[in-house]
């Protein structure tokens, strides 16, 4: 018994150690990318900050709280559909904590895992619903990105052709194709019942189930089932989708405020919206925590290609990253001051 407890403790330490190592490596990569972004553009963010318009600067640092609140309301709405009556304040609290853990776990979904773990721990009878709802929440978040990205790429095709860097054109095309692919995937899932009745499609699905790795099949089935759970409440899903679009639009407004604070006048608002969607799509790849560094490099390259002054093109995304770090620190403070969320004890976490 003692040996088993020792083994469990050692396993926990190893998991924590690997998590810390991954986070440190991710932050190191982010730091290197930010360094080279600043070096390439010749930006001095501290000097530009000192001379910035403090009104737009303050707005830029406050707006992440707005899109975090919109994301928390979206999650709250979807949980209610499943009969999980989470308190609004706890939804915001968990989203802030998830935002903090995004800085510790590479990619943009680490915080989702933490939110799922904490909520599932306190809802033992509805853990499946918690996981599926969190998956749907993430999918709808991506759908909001797909919609804005697809629309903005189509609108901006003439200006995208003028970009000097071929890789930038390739990235925007890939994001646009990914957006269309995501929208097509949702349509196919919506028509799943009719399509599966077609003989050759049914045979193809059966063959894929036999040949694909079991883990892949399970993930696909879970994602499909997650969307099926909400078919009977399309109004809530539509509202959640609108909230997703609002989240990504607010992120673009945040970046725009950074440009306005530095007096950047060569970029139009549409350039900020397009750049935000492309950069966030790249930042979703689990390379660095919360996409730090990768987002900065893509934003700086696109802004420079669109005609922005190089030093401002490099400083704007770095300022945006500072706002993310600020709200991550706030989330860490909330986590520290929330013992009933930190520890798996009986609590009044859910309304009864």
Q: List, in order, residues 6 or more apart from 238 with CB less than 8 Å away.
A: none
Q: Has residue 2 got a pLDDT over 60?
A: no
Q: What is the DSSP letter of 107?
A: B
| pLDDT for 230 | 65
| pLDDT for 19 | 53
Tell me which of 91-105, 195-209, 273-287, 297-311 is least confident: 195-209
Q: Are 244 and 305 within 8 A, CB to CB?
A: no
Q: pLDDT class for 352, splitting at 50, 70, 90?
A: very low
Tell me which of 55-69, 83-97, 176-190, 226-240 is least confident: 176-190
Q: Has residue 302 got a pLDDT over 80?
A: yes
| pLDDT for 351 | 42
Q: Has residue 292 got a pLDDT over 60?
A: yes
Q: pLDDT class for 20, splitting at 50, 70, 90?
A: low
Q: What phi, psi does 348 have (nearest 5°)?
A: -95, 40
Give how far the C-alpha of residue 244 lies from the chain's centroid of Cα atoms, to the nearest Å.
11
Tell me which of 133-142, 151-160, 175-184, 298-307 is least confident: 175-184
Q: List, in order, residues 6 or more apart from 165 with CB less than 8 Å away.
A: 301, 305
Q: What is the rounded CA–CA span in Å between residue 106 and residue 151?
A: 28
| pLDDT for 37 | 86
| More confidently predicted of 282 and 331 | 331
Q: Are 254 and 60 within 8 A, CB to CB?
A: yes
pLDDT digits (tens, 9 = 90+) for 243-274: 999 999 999 999 999 999 999 988 889 889 98
- β-bridge mates for residue 86, sequence order: 350
Residue-range domain boundaries for the chain = 2-342
Percent pLDDT > 70 in the chain is 69
Q: What phi, psi does 86 have (nearest 5°)?
A: -75, 140
List the end-to-end C-alpha distance of the chain, in Å, as a whole number: 38
Half-sphere exposure of 166 (CA within 13 A, CB side): 0
Mean pLDDT score, 269-296: 84
Instruction: For the chain, give the mean pLDDT.
Output: 77
Q: pLDDT class for 183, splitting at 50, 70, 90?
A: low
Helix axes 166-190, 127-155, angle to 10 degrees: 130
Mean pLDDT score, 69-84: 88
Q: What's the alpha-carbon Rg for the chain, to the nearest Å?
A: 22
Tell me which of 8-12, 156-160, 187-191 is least confident: 8-12
């Amino acid at each position: 018994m003692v040996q088993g407890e020792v083994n469990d403790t050692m396993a926990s330490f190893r998991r924590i150690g690997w998590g810390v190592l991954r986070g440190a490596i991710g932050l190191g990569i982010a730091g290197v990318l930010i360094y080279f972004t600043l070096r390439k553009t010749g930006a001095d963010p501290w000097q530009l900050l000192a001379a910035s318009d403090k009104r737009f600067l303050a707005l830029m640092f406050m707006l992440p709280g707005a899109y975090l609140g919109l994301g928390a309301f979206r999650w709250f709405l979807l949980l209610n559909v499943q009969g999980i009556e989470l308190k609004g304040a706890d939804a915001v609290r968990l989203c802030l904590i998830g935002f903090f853990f995004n800085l510790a776990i590479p990619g943009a979904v680490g915080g989702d895992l933490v939110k799922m773990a904490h909520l599932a721990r306190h809802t033992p009878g509805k853990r499946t619903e918690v996981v599926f709802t969190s998956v749907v929440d993430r999918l709808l978040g991506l759908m909001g990105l797909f919609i804005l990205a697809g629309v903005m790429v189509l609108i901006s095709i003439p200006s995208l052709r003028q970009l000097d860097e071929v890789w930038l054109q390739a990235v925007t095309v890939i994001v646009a194709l990914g957006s269309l692919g995501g929208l097509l995937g949702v349509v196919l899932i919506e028509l799943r019942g009719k399509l599966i009745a077609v003989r050759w499609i049914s045979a193809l699905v059966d063959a894929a189930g036999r040949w694909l790795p079991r883990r892949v099949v399970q993930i696909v089935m879970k994602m499909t089932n997650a969307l099926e759970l909400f078919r009977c409440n399309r109004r809530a899903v539509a509202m959640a989708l609108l909230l997703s679009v609002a989240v990504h639009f607010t992120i673009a407004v945040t970046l725009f405020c950074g440009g306005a604070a530095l007096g950047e006048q060569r970029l139009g608002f549409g350039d900020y919206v397009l750049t935000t969607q492309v950069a966030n799509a790249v930042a979703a790849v689990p390379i660095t925590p919360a996409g730090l560094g990768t987002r900065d490099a893509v934003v700086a390259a696109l802004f420079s290609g669109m005609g922005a002054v190089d030093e401002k093109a490099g400083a704007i995304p770095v300022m945006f990253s500072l706002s993310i770090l600020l709200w991550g620190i706030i989330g860490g403070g909330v986590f520290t001051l929330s013992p009933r969320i930190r520890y798996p004890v009986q609590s009044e976490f859910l309304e009864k």
